[in-house]
Chains A and B, each alone.
Chain A
Amino acid sequence: MNNERLKSVTLGLIVVVGMASAALLVRWTDTLRPPVDPNAIDEGLYLNDKTVRRMSLGFNGLAADWYWMRSLQYAGKKLFDSTGDISLDDLSGLNMKLLAPLLDTATTLDPEFIEPYEYAAVVLPAIDVQQAIRLTQKGIDANPNAWRLYHHLGYIYWRQGEYEKASETYGRGAQIPGAPAWMEAMKAKLISEGGSRSTAREIYTRMYEQAGEEHVREMAQKQLMRLESLDQQDALRKLFAAYKTRYGKCPDSWRELAQIFRTLRIPMDESGAPLDPSGAPYVLQAGACEVELDPNKTKVPMK
């Protein structure tokens, strides 16, 4: 082997071995590093939304995307770290204090970016309802023709039990060219039967159909499952009442009702228990004429 070749091989080896050693050293230092402060994720934003907009020069769209993705990662990390089943429409226990400022910054950088407003309308009411209303209203001010934002603002008011405001918001949204006809129908429905299950079903169905964001669609789907389950539970209670009238007692096991379920073509598991919309068996409170979801098996949200 001549000198030049030996030199090349040696240098090549140094590069390969050196990089491998560097990677091993990084792994070693990772184990020595003190644990990450769990509160670091909630460290306040250094810059407010208006300052960020000024500093973004011509790159405000890209900066808005970054803040949007950061919002998703922030909420996702909180959900991931949480224990228990938490749905997107009830995140009150997760202390997501940075979510509103992150979404606010994203929408200040790009006021036409609709998804952060929609996300704020769906997720924020459980954390800070005033921020949710403010951000959704900010979206309406910046995009007066986005009828979907009126739908979301109406949804926030409806959840708060403010049916008159919700109806008025749907009414305003219905005036926008291109808004679907059901917006006008929602206006009337909210006034006449604001707190009813059918209104809730209508709202979540529309939300499921119109949602641009997958998490929102998922949440609406779960809520629709919950409403379906409530209807099923009511139907089962009626069956219990009829059974009690006939036999003078509540059923002690699902098997006693299996023949009726078969006749009514109600799906059951092998023990004869009827299945909820997520496919999990309902739990019978023996002798009490009551039925409930199985919290360990069901995917239907409890509230």
Chain B
Amino acid sequence: MEQQLRTLDAAQTTHLEKSKLRRNGTLGRISAIARNAFREAVRDRVLYNLVLFVLLLTAASVFIGELSGGQERKIIVDLGLSAMLLFGMFISIFVGVGLVYKEIERRTIYAVFSKPVGRGEFLVGKYLGLCFTLLVNVVVMAVGVSLALLYVSRGWDPLIPTIWPAVLLIYLELMLLTAVALLFSSFSSPALSALLTFLIFVAGHFSADLKVLAVSLGSTGARWFFTGLYYLLPNLANYSFITPAAHGRTPAPGFVFASALYAFVYIAVILAAATLIFSRRNFK
């Protein structure tokens, strides 16, 4: 009897969700999936990395003065923002590659697609959910770095406002990386996707070298190849502003705007490609 009631309740909920989804349109459906993806990330204890981050910063704030020859403020910023990028990269890669795969593996994807949800909407929703998780992560970490600076300076520190543009650039880089992870996970296994995404992260930071290589090569074919690669791969070096931020320098607003625009265009391209691949995928 109880089982029957539960089934009835679930059917009613599904019906309600369906009508709600229909009512809200594409944006409503994407937002529902994004909220769910965020909740899932929290349930999977993804944000536990913040504990490690806090421990790292606390230890650095207390002990680094002994080792750094008076450079603790610079080191706190370098360490804090680098850890933010590193932890964010791990979340982007390892959670990002599992976003789609887990749904297929658990067969919950059938339940999702039995509702009026498009495959593109599913991917974008999942993507935005993880981006929101990363946003929470990055903001909490940036607040942590600011507090650590307050502690080592025994009061207000002029570096506190200058780290935030660098934090924004780190977040844009993580958004880009998450999109890449999602693209690979739409057609390949999690292990391979993680490896490929990591390689893209490395290659993305070598983009300036690719350009130099393209110019210095004698063969036209090779020159074209490396120039193509330079434009094809995401230029992640644009988002590295940690070192100047540690010296109190902020990027020009025009540079931040251009970098943000590039990130959004690139993400749109990747998500479109991922949707294209994912739409043709047969789950039977």
Contact of A57 with B205 at beta-carbon distance under 8 Å, contacts A69-B67, A73-B67 already known: yes
Flag whether A220 is at the interface (Cβ < 8 A).
Answer: no
Q: Are A65 and B79 in contact (CB under 8 A)?
A: yes
Flag whether A86 is at the interface (Cβ < 8 A).
Answer: no
Q: Which of A54, A61, A64 contacts B209 (CB 8 A)?
A: A54
Q: Point out the residues of chain B lying under 8 angstroms from A58, CB to CB.
A: 82, 85, 173, 205, 236-237, 239-240, 242
Q: Are B78 and A62 in contact (CB under 8 A)?
A: yes
Q: Point out the residues of chain B lying under 8 angstroms from A61, CB to CB.
A: 74, 77-78, 81-82, 242-243, 246
- One digit per residue, 1 when the CB lies within 8 angstroms of any chain B CB and 0 when it does not, for chain A 87-116 equals 000000000000000000000001011010
Chain B residue with minimal CB distance to A214?
B70
Number of interface residues of A (CB under 8 A): 22
Tell me the complex Cα distance, A62–B166, Å: 14
Tell me the complex Cα distance, A59–B247, Å: 15
Q: Are A68 and B69 in contact (CB under 8 A)?
A: yes
Q: Are A215 and B69 in contact (CB under 8 A)?
A: yes
- One digit per residue, 1 when the CB lies within 8 angstroms of any chain A CB and 0 when it does not, for chain B 234-264 equals 0011011011101101000000000000000
Q: Point out the residues of chain A lying under 8 angstroms from B237, CB to CB.
A: 58
- One digit per residue, 1 when the CB lies within 8 angstroms of any chain B CB and 0 when it does not, for chain A 50-76 equals 000010011111101100110011000
Flag whether A213 is at the interface (Cβ < 8 A).
Answer: yes
Q: Are A115 and B85 in contact (CB under 8 A)?
A: no
Flag whether A279 is at the interface (Cβ < 8 A).
Answer: no
Q: Are B205 and A69 in contact (CB under 8 A)?
A: no
Q: Are A112 and B247 in contact (CB under 8 A)?
A: yes
Tell me the complex Cα distance, A30–B202, Å: 39
- One digit per residue, 1 when the CB lies within 8 angstroms of any chain A CB and 0 when it does not, for chain B 202-215 equals 10011001000000
Q: Are A68 and B68 in contact (CB under 8 A)?
A: yes
Q: Are A68 and B243 in contact (CB under 8 A)?
A: no
Interface of A is mostly: helix
Flag whether B46 is at the interface (Cβ < 8 A).
Answer: no
Chain A residue with minimal CB distance to B246?
A61
Within 8 A of A (CB), among B74-109: 74-75, 77-79, 81-82, 85-86
Chain B residue with minimal CB distance to A213?
B69
Chain A residue with minimal CB distance to B202?
A57
Q: Point out the residues of chain A lying under 8 angstroms from B71, CB to CB.
A: 65, 68, 115
Q: Point out the residues of chain B lying under 8 angstroms from A115, CB to CB.
A: 69-71
Tell me the complex Cα distance, A57–B201, Å: 9
Interface of B is mostly: helix
Tell me the complex Cα distance, A54–B203, Å: 11
Q: Point out the residues of chain B lying under 8 angstroms from A72, CB to CB.
A: 67-69
Q: Point out the residues of chain A lying under 8 angstroms from B249, CB to CB.
A: 112
Within 8 A of B (CB), among A20-74: 54, 57-62, 64-65, 68-69, 72-73
Tell me the complex Cα distance, A161–B11, Å: 92
Q: Are A62 and B79 in contact (CB under 8 A)?
A: yes
Flag whether A212 is at the interface (Cβ < 8 A).
Answer: yes
Chain B residue with minimal CB distance to A71?
B69
Question: From residue A92, how far is it (CB to closest CB) to chain B in Å?
Answer: 21
Q: Point out the residues of chain B lying under 8 angstroms from A60, CB to CB.
A: 240, 243
Question: From residue A108, how far is it (CB to closest CB) to chain B in Å?
Answer: 12
- One digit per residue, 1 when the CB lies within 8 angstroms of any chain A CB and 0 when it does not, for chain B 166-185 equals 00000001000000000000
Q: Are A64 and B70 in contact (CB under 8 A)?
A: no
Q: Point out the residues of chain A lying under 8 angstroms from B201, CB to CB.
A: 57
Question: From residue A270, how far is it (CB to closest CB) to chain B in Å?
Answer: 39
B-to-A contact residues, CB < 8 Å: 67-71, 74-75, 77-79, 81-82, 85-86, 173, 201-202, 205-206, 209, 236-237, 239-240, 242-244, 246-247, 249
**What would 17 A/B residue contacts be, using CB atoms closer than 8 Å?**
A54-B206, A57-B205, A58-B82, A58-B237, A58-B239, A58-B240, A58-B242, A59-B85, A59-B86, A59-B242, A61-B78, A61-B243, A65-B68, A68-B68, A68-B69, A72-B67, A115-B70
A-to-B contact residues, CB < 8 Å: 54, 57-62, 64-65, 68-69, 72-73, 110, 112-113, 115, 119, 212-215
- Ranked 4 nearest A-B pairs via Cβ: A61-B243, A58-B240, A61-B78, A62-B82
Sample of 4 more A-B contacts, CB < 8 Å, known A59-B86, A213-B69, A214-B70: A61-B242, A72-B68, A113-B74, A213-B70
